[in-house]
Structure 1
Amino acid sequence: MVLKRVYMVILLIWCIYPLESVIPPHRYRNQNQTIARHGCNPKCGNVSVFFPFGMDDPKCYASKPFEIECRHNNNTSQGHRKPVPYLKYISLEVMYIDIQDGTVGIKNPIFHLGCGKTITGINLEGSPFVYSQNYNSFVGVGCQNAAILSSNDTILTACVSMCYDDLEKGNDIDISSCRGSYCCETSLPPYLSAYNISTETVEVKSNIKAECSNYLLIRAEYSNFKYVYDEYNSSYWVPILGDLKKQKDVPAVLEWEIPIHTPNNSFPEFRTDGSYNCSYTNVTSSLYSQSGWRCSCRDGFEGNPYIQEGCKFVATGDSELRDKRKTREKWAIIGVSSSLGTIILLLGLWWLNKVVRKNIEKKRKEKFFKQNGGLLLKQRLSSGEANVDKIKLFTLKDLDKATDHFNINRVLGKGGQGTVYKGMLVDGNIVAVKKFKVNGNVEEFINEFVILSQINHRNVVKLLGCCLETEIPLLVYEFIPNGNLYEYLLGQNDDLPMTWDMRLRIATEVAGALFYLHSAASQPIYHRDIKSRNILLDGKYKAKVADFGASRMVSIEATHLTTAVQGTFGYMDPEYFHTSQLTDKSDVYSFGVVLIELLTGKEPISSAKQQELRSLASYFLLCMEENRLFDIIDERIVKEAEKEHIVVVANLARRCLELKGKRRPTMKEVTSELESIQKSRKQSASQEQHDAGIDECQFWSVISPTSNLGETSDSKASTLEIMPTHPNH
């Protein structure tokens, strides 16, 4: 009897959560919907070809870039030829087309190249396609190598992969999450349409030599890829390093839009009436706010909005409502007429269903709690490492509503640790919600939670709360509106320039925050990833240090901490890089690089025309050594600041960049020197105002107020006298 009840409850739960919830979002319920134009083939193999894409006849596709070529690839394992769609413009295989999201999945090639070589990647310039920043990432595989993605001699992004053992022994290492060991991964820049890829050897004191058999690729993240299906192969995903030797390509996602000026435009006119809803977009261009447009079907309609009358009305009709009403009345009569035993049975089933669902939800939350490091967090809390008195526990419902269901339009930034969304709570407070990319490793998430729960400093981003009972752990921070220091330095304009006083203040605030972390916190904290991208600017452009996922707490007695090397190329302490011994002086070195960025307004890593990597720190030290300091200083600073102040700050930066950590100053000393420079700057400005006041007083004091209008010129002359001035005036 109990088993029968359980089966009935399972059936009820299956009805409550219908099968359509597991169907990929771009596969529609209405199988009879219009996909292609009349007379055009809507399928190639297993892929539906939605207009504006099309095949064969030019009338079947909007323009040349949207043409699909249906080829027949040999498949010897199955003994027959299979039709496969290709995007003819770039000759790459198509895996799916999504007209609702404006994306197309392709098989992107894996590039194999040696050290110091450069290969030109896929060129999408002039087309309505770009590589999606939200779905894709750049991956490099190799030993002691820097993987570089560039365009027009400008580095767009880069990452470094290190090996502590032979690469051949690492064939079983999962590359779905590359953190710098054997392989590395970084996000793509926006509006990427053409790129070159190259590698450079990184000199490291190690028994493992640089591996010049590198693999570089742009791929879609596994959790973000919408639909991977093939009749003969179960997956295109590359799970381990060894498979790269067999694999030629990986899934990637392109975003597209309808260009505003399309040759031979055969679309329905741009409109927002009836069943259509069109809006302007700038998917392919950062220069124009309207480079194209997209359409969708209005609520209550389904289909292809790019075809005339392609959106079909799917709402329930009046006759269907009447039939359902009659059916409900019939069952109501049956229910009333049922025996007392049936009523008791139904009540029992309802109670059992409620208990089972409650237990399922409880076990689900417990599963996610353990999966996201809840037990480890409890252990850290019981040991007194974390302070949660002011930390709020948010529900997934609250954060889902605050971020509009984690809408991609709310994304503030995306990095190796996860994605940050902008949200508004019910009480109106604006927050930043960080969705971690844990991939089974929750150490960084727990580490950031524990460290930020202990910090209370005006120049450190404030942790407001967390949510553990979800599939992906979430942290909630105060919202910092003006982006990060890196973007502000490179994007500053005449309307809101970064003055010398602003730079001095920001440097002093960051130095004070690091001094607090190193000395004033309950336990010393080493940030380990200080860089201009991790320094946020609030509404008054005051600095806030952020991103503590890589940070480490050490005991007060300890002088260093031995860890796996982690950091950002261009900011990493060379001594820590060679010895793996993390000290407070590692943060001092990284701060020195930030100080140089403030002085020069340049990027920490740049490339010459020969594609050679050049460190800003090395170039700065060379200029100092050759007495060419003002060749590299930002012209804005040279016009505003006193040269002696610039030299003092430059010398401070040079001391921070000493190769040996013992020769570098502490953050306390750095903070003290910067505060002294600020104070001297204010005193100098005050003295200039004071001197101007003295000149005015002396001018008016030479004329006595006792002269009379009725006196002669001689008598007037006799009344002129030099009024004594007070020495303090």
Structure 2
Amino acid sequence: MLKLQEKMILLLPSIPSPQAKLLLPILLVQMALQLLVAKVATAGPVALPGCLEACGNVTVPYPFGFRQGCFHKGFKLTCDETRHPPKLLLSDGVEVDAISLSGGKVRVQSMIVRPYRNMTRPQSLGFGVAWPDAAWPDLNTGVRLAVSIKHNVLVAIGCNLVVNLVGQETVFNGNANGDIYNQYVSACAALCNYDGTDSSETCSGFGCCQTTISQSFAAYGVQFKQLDNSPSGVAFIVDRDWFNRINVRAIQNSTTFHDFSVPTVLEWWLDVEGDRDLLVRDLRSGSGWRCISLNSLALNVSDHYGAVSCNCSYGYEGNPHIVNGCQDIDECLQPDVYPCDGTCTNMPGTHRCTPKKSASRLPGLIAVIAISAGSGIVLSLLGISKITNKFKQRRAKNLRRNFFKKNHGLLLQQLISSNQDMAERMRIFSLEELDQATNKFDHTRILGGGGHGTVYKGILSDQRIVAIKKAKIVVQREIDHFINEVVILSQTNHRNVVKLFGCCLETEVPLLVYEFISNGTLSFHLHGQSENPLSWKDRLRIALETARAIAYLHSAASISVYHRDIKCANILLTDTLTSKVSDFGASRSIAIDETGIVTAVQGTHGYLDPEYYYTSRLTEKSDVYSFGVILAELLTRVTPVFASHSSEVTSLASHFVSLIRDNRLLDILDTQIVEEGGAEGAEVVARLAKACLSLKGEERPTMRQVETTLEDVQNSTVNLSSQITRVNRNAVNDRSYKGCKGSEVTRVYSLEKEFIQSSEIPR
């Protein structure tokens, strides 16, 4: 109280001392009332009774805690009180900056890694794992944390440096310790400027590069590749918002940057199986659960099966993980947040604001209120409920209308109405129809995830079974990918290209409705645990059908389509093993008289055309290279990127071409093909794959030539040598033709122009 008096006297420098002493008690009462109001406004327990609510400057809400009896199983932290101020740490020593209840996020300080000479395996990014001896999170502690792919980016700083982000997960196949699997997730390259410097104010690829993290894994590591054999530079996973606010040039010029740590955002959640004591079954909610506190809800975490995130209901705040932790907000005590020009009345979960009335009308109003008090209360309760519902419905309707306009819905409506062919093959669905078809996008309806979204199984009102793609990340780039896919598929009509039934434009990112393909992907049948491996006859037919679809995209329309992400995971199989090419989110359309377009490099590691990677020039031969990798997979059943006997990561494309060049096809050919008597045809397909995998695009055949060769193999109408000769001759003729075309012009199409062109293309 003495310190408070001193502060109040300092606030009154212009008032004479005797007057200040008289006013001081009044001001103290006012200040105490303000403190009481602030305390009530933020009421609600944070930690369990008798437990500390903070470690140093970091608030520690339950289920987290650092003293015995103060944390839930799997959420134990450490408070290092030997430091000043004390530091909050994860069990592996990673420093915690902040914990968010409503957002389900933990912000930590993560390490920066540097390359070293003769590096043979990825380096851990330091999230509680000695790479690659264990998987994080620690299964013994049950911590439910993961790197947020929404809030973080991978950053590499250096000169002529390529960094691959490798995800690690543990799979238990009857093994108590589990088997550890590595998978390439993202990559970026930091190059030098032409003058040899690597300084840049933005992280745009020169001296610094950044890329999104496409998949969520338990742990991550990075693998460096120095293009000039000079091991230097750094890599790290960092909070996207934090990194966008800093000066990249200052970081590059800093001599102590390698000793820094950077903020990284982790996500945390509850498990419906392991955390039942913090959850209550509630069949009225979308997840089927609510939190232990009344007036709370549990939301599904989309990237993790069986995971939920707890929040207090609207109008309440506090800790939903504690009994009665969600307390009603008294909106009347927070006029800055909830303004009321009249009389404010707090109500559970909301408040009521009664306008001020003039003094002359007050007696009459009192009489009216006295007469109608009984019925007024009932009507008020019913009216508030009805008005609230109407406001919610109107707000949702306006939001859907705004999204529809933003996603070019009016233009697409006009195109469909003016094009009979398009109107017969696709339609615009409402959000209500797709909500009903997927049971409000229930997690049990998830079929899988692609590079640009999650796919749900749905049943339309006419009993058609469909697949509905919904974006994972709400950014403009994903919206452009989805609209691009509508443009491509609306002008495509081929039996081996997945059909687009329509789309929904009433959400922030459009929803796409496809035909339902029930038999999974080609990747699953080749590299998964399928009980019935594909026969050589089926593999050859699938290759031919896929080649026909790609050839159609390249040359059958007035505007060519380059898929840009041809891979086994994007080839779907029906019950009769008919192939369907899918996922056109990264595809590009160009005029038929053009041979390529300069664009940002995009694709999947292991399938990416090296010429496209280094020149950024996309041509039809980029798809040919990716298809060559698929042919190699069909012949060998080896993944595009695999670990060799020396534990080094090896590209299937380069390894396959090397063996074919040395006439050692049998060293890698799938023994099932030999047993089925398909060795002679496999030899032709192998030579065709080698031609497709040429490092120079001009030396590769066209997809029409690939299709013809595969037809000959299937029909067995020509011998081995004549087929190989024709493949090589066609590649040369194709190169000569392209050389006579002179200068090339790159055209850039807006989304509106692409929609208009899509309505004019003949089928």
TM-score bracket for this pair, using the shorter chain length: 0.5 to 0.7
Which of 667, 674, 692 does residue 638 from structure 1 map onto? 674
Q: 1:200-211 counterparts in 2 under 5 A?
A: 200-201=225-226
Which of 104, 128, 131 does residue 142 from structure 2 map onto? 128
Which of 68, 88, 96 does residue 99 from structure 2 map onto? 96
Q: 1:536-575 counterparts in 2 under 5 A?
A: 536-575=572-611
Q: 1:182-201 counterparts in 2 under 5 A?
A: 182-190=209-217, 192=218, 194-201=219-226
Contact 1:218 1:252 in 2 (8 A): no
Q: Which residue of 2 aligns with 1:511?
A: 547
Superposed displacement of residue 131, structure 1:
2.0
Q: Which residue of 2 aligns with 1:4?
A: none
Superposed displacement of residue 615, structure 1:
1.3
3-state SS of 2:224 partner: strand
Superposed displacement of residue 181, structure 1:
9.1
Indicate the structure (1 or 2) with the bigger Cα radius of gyration.
1
Tell me the distance in 2 between the aligned counterparts of 1:626 and 1:503. 25
Tell me the distance in 2 between the aligned counterparts of 1:378 and 1:550. 23
The aligned amino acid for 2:701 is: P
Q: Which residue of 2 aligns with 1:394?
A: 429
Contact 1:71 1:86 in 2 (8 A): no
Tell me the distance in 1 between the aligned counterparts of 2:476 and 2:96. 32
Change (3 A) 1:68 1:420: farther
Q: Which residue of 2 aligns with 1:59?
A: 69
Q: What's the Cα RMSD here? A: 5.4
Q: 1:613-624 counterparts in 2 under 5 A?
A: 613-624=649-660
The aligned amino acid for 1:392 is: R
Change (3 A) 1:140 1:582: same
Contact 1:259 1:293 in 2 (8 A): yes
Superposed displacement of residue 490, structure 1:
1.8
Contact 2:66 2:79 in 1 (8 A): yes
Q: Deviations over 1:539-574 (max 9, x none)?
A: 444322122233222323333334444333322223
Tell me the distance in 1 between the aligned counterparts of 2:203 and 2:162. 17
Superposed displacement of residue 168, structure 1:
4.4
Q: Which residue of 1 aligns with 2:526?
A: 489
Q: Unmatched 5+ residue regions in structure 1?
A: 1-28, 75-80, 204-208, 223-234, 315-319, 338-353, 682-729
Q: 1:354-369 counterparts in 2 under 5 A?
A: 365-366=401-402, 369=405
Change (3 A) 1:438 1:97: closer
Contact 2:192 2:206 in 1 (8 A): no
Tell me the distance in 2 between the aligned counterparts of 1:504 and 1:638. 14
Superposed displacement of residue 594, structure 1:
0.7
Which of 230, 251, 265 does residue 264 from structure 2 map onto? 251
The aligned amino acid for 1:618 is: S
The aligned amino acid for 2:552 is: Y
3-state SS of 2:555 partner: helix
Which of 486, 501, 512 does residue 475 from structure 1 map onto? 512
Change (3 A) 1:534 1:336: farther
Q: How many pairs align?
A: 586
Change (3 A) 1:212 1:425: farther
Q: Deviations over 1:337-396 (max 9, x none)?
A: 9xxxxxxxxxxxxxxxx99x98997698457734x4669979999999x95663322334
The aligned amino acid for 2:548 is: G
Tell me the distance in 1 between the aligned counterparts of 2:450 and 2:230. 26
Change (3 A) 1:473 1:294: closer
Tell me the distance in 2 between the aligned counterparts of 1:508 and 1:365. 44
Q: Which residue of 2 aligns with 1:111?
A: 112
Q: Which residue of 1 aligns with 2:730?
A: none
Contact 2:417 2:423 in 1 (8 A): no
Tell me the distance in 2 between the aligned counterparts of 1:238 and 1:211. 30
Q: Deviations over 1:41-72 (max 9, x none)?
A: 2344676534442223x222345762342659
Q: Which residue of 2 aligns with 1:432?
A: 468
Q: 1:113-262 counterparts in 2 under 5 A?
A: 113-114=114-115, 117=119, 118-120=122-124, 121-122=126-127, 123=129, 124-126=137-139, 127-129=141-143, 130-131=145-146, 135=150, 139-142=154-157, 143=160, 145-149=162-166, 151=168, 155-162=182-189, 166=193, 168=198, 170-173=200-203, 182-190=209-217, 192=218, 194-201=219-226, 213-218=232-237, 241-242=248-249, 248-255=261-268
3-state SS of 1:678 partner: helix
Tell me the distance in 2 between the aligned counterparts of 1:243 and 1:611. 38
- When the two structures are superposed, what TM-score results if normalisation uses the length of structure 2? 0.62
Superposed displacement of residue 453, structure 1:
0.7
Superposed displacement of residue 217, structure 1:
3.3
Superposed displacement of residue 515, structure 1:
1.6
Q: Which residue of 2 aligns with 1:19?
A: none
Contact 1:139 1:186 in 2 (8 A): yes
Change (3 A) 1:301 1:585: closer
Q: Unmatched 5+ residue regions in structure 2?
A: 1-39, 130-136, 169-178, 284-288, 293-299, 329-346, 355-364, 373-389, 718-763
Contact 2:152 2:264 in 1 (8 A): no
Tell me the distance in 2 between the aligned counterparts of 1:563 and 1:211. 29
Superposed displacement of residue 198, structure 1:
1.8
- When the two structures are superposed, what TM-score results if normalisation uses the length of structure 1? 0.65
